[in-house]
Structure 1
């Protein structure tokens, strides 16, 4: 049923030009999908991504009209989608692919969720709600738009992504349908799976809601490393919020807030949010309930690296992202093992172990761990570590090795793999503060040569 939407969507000059070109060719353009949903959630804000669906005009004629306003990319032609660029903005322009193509209501019923099936007529400034999307948007409910939902099982993961971004919950009948689609997960391309998870990492603020959707839909079973955390107990003194899965979701929610406060975007935000979600995956195997009733999970930090890597690989995460998350998981308990202000040497060694992740990313995940404990939430234990890291110049990464291969050549040692043990020892000595500049590194090399250690290192190499 149409809804008044006067002033709802603020369009750029480029968007207006594209819409006018379609109208001039005889088409009826509607704004569709996320730009309408987001405008209803935050009226008056100019949408970043404008998707347009055209009725009453064949794809070839739409393409001809768009070429008059900007370059047209027809890579999506097989899906009846064109991309046009105007004044630095990109627009996806589509036509309905199936029967009833001249009826916006039929087209709406073929979209994924009702909150994404809302259409906005930019000519009349009316919102067309053919499948009850307005009511679901107000209620924060994800409900499938129609029987074609199952044609693309990725829509289940898209629901989790939308839940992460907006805190939506899954309608019971949609959860039932999603469970019937669970076997199709294994056939989904990794890059499409990662695209949804990337949005969770980059945009999600309610990651615990995404976990809930995955659980209700039966798709959490495809993430066994995370699913196994359900029901794993924690010491209520430190974790009154409940089991490890509950804590993991709350920690990811806290990480999103902390990452936004730090101004993180893209992969940097994803590393922190997913790092917090997965930081305790080792507890599934390392949690023990002792005879006296105490609950411990010694070793879970190291033990969490392998399952986290397995999960991230299964969802198509890039190796660069995996390589930054796993050392954070391994080191997320480090700060609580040292009382008071840590030594500069301890901080330098930690920065080396964390690479390629940065100390700041590690700190945010640790802070989220302590903020995601419900009534037991506490301050970030890494504050002192970050202060020392900044003083030591390793807050963004470990310091480079000061000893050079030329220094060994100058002592008459030919280059080769035998250098490895020497350089490893030099790194350890540098991080321990035995030298702080190149001259000190050369002096250290002369000293270990005089002591006979250099010859041993070369032999080991």
Structure 2
């Protein structure tokens, strides 16, 4: 990195709140030189006019204690990151990360083997060299209204290139996954020399705590719109093999009539991209969006083991939906996804072929049963993943075949959750039957009848039970004994 930065004047680049301006004024009054750094500068250059969600400030020329004192006059200061020379300022619902330039002294093995020392005298050029990529090393001087570029970050940002700033990049191998995350969010790609450095870091993946790995994949799920670019970045970096359930999809062929886009890995990236667009159009955020995006990414992982090229040249993958549940769970567990999120994605994988070949609107009973099989996922989430599947086929993309299913789900009230079992154990007790596991076959039959539309409220369930008692079915069910079939919500049998 050169000593003098390229300076580009950009008046009003970052739209700052009143609290942000008060923070900067307080630091300057205390003798510090504050610069905006990181994502707020990058994103302002990518999307001028948007107020940044997060504002990070790096302060030069001011020690930690006077910095704390100056910030305390603005809002509440959280010093939990003091050991890393990072403070958090809170006021009026806004949070700001305020840091000092620091040096890191190697003190042990791995990415945690460093001692952090705050050094206010560090030149901005050196501080910028500690950052991961050149486009994240850009600084903005809010007084001079200039962008400071020490390493060609402006050109890389325009070109969509992820280039490491210095050899310090290798100190934390998580930066490779951060690069993949930026690829997913912005469509960026690694510079050749950075890809080569990433490949040399591939063995260090095992040093990364799972929670840090999940932090990057979570952002892909919550913010990614170019998931296919993330897969390409991981492949270029030599890191795709760390996710074998995805890597095995490379080169797996598909019937070109239905999938002219290429192999299963290509389709998976395109499907996740399409699912992200559908989720955004539906207003999804957080875990809900992640379920849809990652669900689309892994929906076809079963094709790795269930694809066959027949003697006549036809390519089939019968049974791949069910076969995909286990590898999808392995992938999600391996990247640290929370169990509750995994529980929502895997049934979507299992059921993503249900609507294929069904013309028109399905029967209400079919949709009710699907809602039960999908829980805790929803029909809406399943529909968006299926929509991504059909829109992620390049020239072969088509309309979402599950729209009618989602409409029926809304009409019968199972769009968000399956219907609650309406028959109660007390209804059987009212007929003189003692509580016990023998209730289970009755409740199972009641659930089937309810899903078939035989009744829609509790009164109807009681009437149905009376009819079953009158024609002898109730006694037959009670004589069957316990059943292994799960009932919704752990419905009581006694």
- For residues 387-430 of structure 1, the C-alpha deviation after alignment (integer angstroms, 9 at most, x for no partner) is 21122111112111101121122223333444333323322221
CA distance in 2, matches of 1:116, 1:410: 70
- For residues 44-84 of structure 1, the C-alpha deviation after alignment (integer angstroms, 9 at most, x for no partner) is 22111000001001122211211111111111112110001
1:176 equivalent to 2:196? Answer yes
**What is aligned with 1:455?**
478
CA distance in 2, matches of 1:48, 1:218: 33
Judge conservation of contact 1:22–1:28 (CA < 8 Å) in 2.
yes
1:116 equivalent to 2:136? Answer yes
1:41 equivalent to 2:46? Answer yes
CA distance in 2, matches of 1:179, 1:406: 64
Shift of 1:439: 2.0
CA distance in 2, matches of 1:80, 1:422: 64
Shift of 1:367: 0.7
TM-score (norm 1): 0.97
SS of the residue 2:404 aligns to: helix
Out of 129, 135, 160, which is 2:155 matched to?
Answer: 135
CA distance in 2, matches of 1:302, 1:267: 23
1:248 equivalent to 2:253? Answer no
- For residues 353-406 of structure 1, the C-alpha deviation after alignment (integer angstroms, 9 at most, x for no partner) is 111111111111111100000000001101111121122111112111101121
**What is aligned with 1:352?**
372
TM-score (norm 2): 0.91
- For residues 94-129 of structure 1, the C-alpha deviation after alignment (integer angstroms, 9 at most, x for no partner) is 001117843111100110111100000111111000
Q: Which moved more, 1:337-346 or 1:281-290?
A: 337-346
**What is aligned with 2:10?**
5
**What is aligned with 1:93?**
98
Runs (5+) with no aligned partner, structure 2: 1-5, 104-118, 485-494
Q: Which moved more, 1:171-180 or 1:284-293?
A: 171-180
CA distance in 1, matches of 2:316, 2:191: 37
C-alpha RMSD of matched pairs (Å):
1.4
1:126 equivalent to 2:146? Answer yes
* Change in CA separation of 1:76 and 1:415 when aligned onto 2, cut-off 3 Å: farther
- For residues 194-234 of structure 1, the C-alpha deviation after alignment (integer angstroms, 9 at most, x for no partner) is 11111111111111001111111111111100000000000
* Change in CA separation of 1:347 and 1:26 when aligned onto 2, cut-off 3 Å: same
CA distance in 1, matches of 2:483, 2:253: 46
The 4+ residue runs of structure 1 with deviation greater than 4 A are none
Say how many residue pairs are matched.
461
CA distance in 2, matches of 1:426, 1:158: 51
User: Higher helix proportion, which one?
Assistant: 1
Runs (5+) with no aligned partner, structure 1: none
Q: Which moved more, 1:175-184 or 1:92-101?
A: 92-101
What are the equivalent positions in structure 2 for 1:28-107 lying under 5 Å apart?
Answer: 28-98=33-103, 101-107=121-127
SS of the residue 1:128 aligns to: strand
CA distance in 1, matches of 2:49, 2:357: 50
SS of the residue 1:6 aligns to: coil
1:153 equivalent to 2:173? Answer yes
